[in-house]
Amino acid sequence: MDILFHATGANPEAWLSAFQQAIPGASIRVWQEGDTAPADYALVWKPPAAMLRGRTDLKAIFNLGAGVDAILQLGDALPPGVPVIRLDDAGMGIQMAEFVAHAVLRYFRRLDAYALQNTDQLWRFLKPFDKQSFSIGVLGLGVLGQRIIEALRQFDFPLNGWSRTPKDLPGVHCYSGQDGLDGFLRASRVLVAILPLTPETEDILNCENLAKLPRGAYVINVARGAHLVEADLLALIQQQHIAGATLDVFREEPLPPVHPFWQEPRISITPHISALTLRDDSARQIAAKIQMLQAGLAISGLVDQHRGY
């Protein structure tokens, strides 16, 4: 079995060794410009168009992440009829749950405000928030959104969720579709974005939608930077409609040093680390899926290229 590998920004040796261990007997090579020799599978993260163009011999393309926006942007360069498979959790769910639970609890327990008081050596009691009015709304109820919800359940917050198709999750007020968005936003004091980036979800965190959140709301974006209209968030923070934001993803990454977000103490910034692709977990998951495909079995994580995720 021949496997092509390319992952922008990753150490190819470490990945090759993880895949070699997980798929013994396979011949795995790092794709080089001009390599058009046949291959059965491609393992990729942000691949160049030239790697995949015309490769209708591939049995599947495995994306080394959950989000497929970068690969679908290749458009015509993606070989027609070749399935694209995304990572299904593969250790990212627990990381997302940790990250979002931390951000939510930091706001709910006012630790962001106490940290600011620390810098002024200020010993001052802040009125606790009422839990029943501190509802958490999760935009996106897929693999990662549902794992976040599962973690937040432990803390008894009122929970809302929004997805494209209707869902029924225990203890969660589920909204769906464009018609459900307004009610979802008005009912959510904390907004967590964990959507895929598609034409429908780009710019969804804009002034019109963010203004529907209750006054004093918090925004947590762990999905993609292009969901957020950055100037709209800044304006709403300055107007004190939004009390704070935790942002892990940005339109431009790394976030440029001159970006105004760096100067806003109510915005917490991390460098796209809320859920990292774990090499060994991912290699094991992909190896198991290749085995299933070879045996003619159905696998999960198949991307609907028309839908965009």
Binding site for ligand GLV (CB under 6 A): 65-67, 277
67 part of the interface to ligand NAP, by CB under 6 A: yes
234 binds, among ligand GLV, ligand NAP, none (CB under 5 to 8 A by kind): none
* Minimum distance, C-beta of residue 176 to ligand NAP, in the bound complex (Å): 7
Distance between CA atoms of 170 and 164, rounded to whole angstroms? Answer: 18
209 part of the interface to ligand NAP, by CB under 6 A: no
Write down the H helix ranges in the chain: 12-22, 49-52, 69-72, 92-108, 111-119, 143-153, 177-186, 207-210, 230-238, 279-294
185 part of the interface to ligand NAP, by CB under 6 A: no
- Per-residue burial over 20-32, b = 16 or more CB atoms within 10 Å of its CB, e = otherwise: eebbeeeebeebe
Distance between CA atoms of 242 and 236, rounded to whole angstroms? Answer: 6
227 binds, among ligand NAP, ligand GLV, none (CB under 5 to 8 A by kind): none
Beta bridge partners of 173: 160
Annotated catalytic residue within 29, 259, 266, 272: 272
190 part of the interface to ligand NAP, by CB under 6 A: no
State residue 106 phi and psi, 5-degree precision: -60, -40
Give the 3-state secondary structure of residue 175.
strand
What's the distance, CA 33 to chain centroid? Answer: 30
- Tokens (6 digits) for 3: 């496997």
* Minimum distance, C-beta of residue 269 to ligand GLV, in the bound complex (Å): 16
233 binds, among ligand GLV, ligand NAP, none (CB under 5 to 8 A by kind): none
222 part of the interface to ligand NAP, by CB under 6 A: yes
Specify whether the backbone of 143 is left (phi greater than 0), alpha (psi in -120 to 50) or beta.
Answer: alpha
147 is catalytic: no
41 binds, among ligand GLV, ligand NAP, none (CB under 5 to 8 A by kind): none
Q: What binding mask, one character per residue, do residues 145-184 give for ligand NAP by CB under 6 A, x or -?
A: x----------------xxxx-------------------
Beta bridge partners of 211: none
* Minimum distance, C-beta of residue 194 to ligand GLV, in the bound complex (Å): 10
272 is catalytic: yes
- Tokens (6 digits) for 192: 């967590």
Annotated catalytic residue within 224, 227, 279, 284: 224
* Minimum distance, C-beta of residue 71 to ligand NAP, in the bound complex (Å): 11
How many C-beta neighbours within 10 Å does residue 200 have? Answer: 14
* Minimum distance, C-beta of residue 274 to ligand GLV, in the bound complex (Å): 8
Q: Which residues are annotated as catalytic?
A: 224, 272
| Residues contributing to the site for ligand NAP (CB under 6 A) | 66-67, 92, 140-145, 162-165, 194-198, 200-201, 222-224, 248-249, 272, 274-275, 309
